[in-house]
Amino acid sequence: MSDPLVYVVDDDASAREGVARLIRSAGLLTKTFASGEEFLAAPRPKPPGCLVLDVNLPGVSGLDLQQELSKSGAPLPIIFLTGHGDIPMSVRALRGGAANFLTKPFDDEDLLNAIRQCLTSYLEDEVRADQNMGNMVGESAGFQDVLRNIQVVGPTDAAVLIQGETGTGKELVARAIHDQSSRSKRAFIKVNCAAIPATLLESELFGHEKGSFTGAFAQKLGRFELAHQGTLFLDEIGEIPLELQSKLLRALQEQELERLGGNRTIKVDVRIIAATNRDLKAMVDENRFRADLYYRLNVFPLRVPSLRERREDIPLLARHFVQKHAQHMGRKIETIPTYVLESLMNYDWPGNIRELQNVIERSVVLSNGRELQIVMPETGRSAPVALANGPSCGSDAERTRILQVLKETKGMVGGTSGAAARLGLKRTTLQSRMRKYNIARLYQ
């Protein structure tokens, strides 16, 4: 991701340069324009960034420019500045999608906070990009334990160490903890310690000063500063280099840091949530992870179960992903056959929920009718059809399965805990099958 760029449009040269100096003093890049026409004539801005815009521009006004950007689909948050406390104008701007509206003379910190809020929204989009594992879905005992732990630790500021295999949804758990906290309105910033080269990770976490190393042409804020008063999620914490762990420990304990190449101590207020699929305790014993950092992170350990440990949640997850991908692709898939669910539940899912979602998405692509045709990962072929031995045998098996699930749900058909959800069927489809097999009269 490129460095954030803040655009400033103001016809008053003195005000324009004053805002630009303030933005640069905060370690951000900026580009200025004297009119709306000049801004529109320039190359289209690319995220991440935001626009600080004077309302009362000659020619193309600030509100006109907002409308032009909205028409073009340019994803640029706007902070309006005005010399008058014009309430109707501010309402109009905010209704048009403006991120903020400040009246001159404004407090410098108010403008910087508004800019940071706009920029961190892009970081939140970035960390959501690999999150698409669906909402937190499940009713198994292990999953319910996770939800209870989230409710317990969420409202506190305690550090949380989330452990679990790859693809189990550790980031979803971290976000749920953040959403339960008093910091929920603030930024949730993610750093994937495994995805960033070791040579760049220090700068990414703590920022750097201009000229601190070759290529450092401007000051840069680190993720700790961007997460100020919010939550910093350190994913794959087991991959962080040993030589960087002492600096990370100090930032966690003292809530202060120095940017790379700087000597000024910067105070931060950050809640830490870390996640790993590694055995950190074993790494400590092998001198590959600092013991003091491990204990600092492991204040509240939270283990996320693998999918094979919560097989009873697979029908619910499967139905959730089918609905999600079918809607996205414009498909009308109404039924997940019993034999398909059994195939899904009999597989061990080494890639966990992420692998299940990928399998369901691929199967939705390949399904032509209203019934899901599953493609299992082991063979790349469609799952064997349980009705292959003849229609009467298949019907008997399906009737038996429906009766079994209805017994388990005490006759409840609808709802997230009902038989329809467990069988991967719509409620109306299950009711139709119950009438077909003369089951409905048993549960009237």
pLDDT at 178: 94
Position with higher pLDDT, 441 vs 252: 252
Band (97; pLDDT cuts 50, 70, 90) = low
Q: Which of 220, 173, 180, 225 is nearest to 200 (CA)?
A: 220
Q: pLDDT averaged over the chain?
A: 83
> Does 151 lie in the same domain as 82?
no
**What CATH number is attached to the domain comprising 52?**
3.40.50.2300
Domain stops at, among 305, 337, 364: 305
Global model pTM greater than 0.75: no
pLDDT at 422: 73
Region 67-87 average pLDDT: 73
pLDDT at 399: 82
pLDDT at 89: 66
Region 60-69 average pLDDT: 84
> Does 158 lie in the same domain as 98?
no
Query: Quick check: 130 pLDDT over 50?
Result: no
**What CATH number is attached to the domain comprising 334?**
1.10.8.60
pLDDT at 133: 32
Domain stops at, among 273, 305, 337: 305
Kindly tell me the burial class for residue 208, based on how many C-beta atoms sit within 10 Å of its own C-beta (0-12, 13-18, 19 or more).
buried
Q: List pLDDT tens digits, range 222-246.
A: 999 999 999 999 999 999 999 999 9
Region 96-108 average pLDDT: 79
Q: Give 80's strand partners.
A: 53, 101
Residue with tokens 């996770």: 146
Category of 336 on φ-ψ map: left (φ > 0), alpha (ψ -120 to 50) or beta:
beta
Q: List pLDDT tens digits, range 396-420.
A: 777 888 888 888 888 888 766 678 7
Query: Quick check: 128 pLDDT over 90?
Result: no
Q: Give 300's strand partners.
A: 160
Q: Can you give the residue range of the structural domain that contains 167? A: 141-305
> Does 315 lie in the same domain as 279?
no
356 alpha-carbon distance from chain centroid: 18
pLDDT at 77: 86
197 domain-assigned: yes
Count up the domains in the chain and report the number.
3
Query: Quick check: 388 pLDDT over 70?
Result: no
> Does 323 lie in the same domain as 294?
no
> Does 313 lie in the same domain as 298?
no
364 domain-assigned: yes
Region 111-118 average pLDDT: 82
Q: List pLDDT tens digits, range 340-355.
A: 888 898 889 999 999 9
Region 292-312 average pLDDT: 95
133 domain-assigned: no
DSSP string for 211-273: TSSTT--S-B--HHHHTTTSEEEEETGGGS-HHHHHHHHHHHHHSEE--BT----EE---EEE
Region 6-26 average pLDDT: 89
Domain stops at, among 99, 128, 157: 128
> Does 181 lie in the same domain as 116?
no
Q: List pLDDT tens digits, range 150-165.
A: 999 999 999 999 999 9
pLDDT at 232: 96
134 domain-assigned: no
pLDDT at 85: 55
Q: List pLDDT tens digits, range 246-288.
A: 999 999 999 999 998 888 999 999 999 999 999 999 999 999 9
Q: Which of 338, 343, 439, 336 is nearest to 397 (CA)?
A: 338
Position with higher pLDDT, 424 vs 122: 424
> Does 359 lie in the same domain as 279?
no
Band (300; pLDDT cuts 50, 70, 90) = very high
Q: List pLDDT tens digits, range 169-185.
A: 999 999 999 999 999 99
Band (431; pLDDT cuts 50, 70, 90) = confident
**What CATH number is attached to the domain comprising 159?**
3.40.50.300
136 domain-assigned: no
Give CA–CA dist 360/243, Å, rounded.
Answer: 42
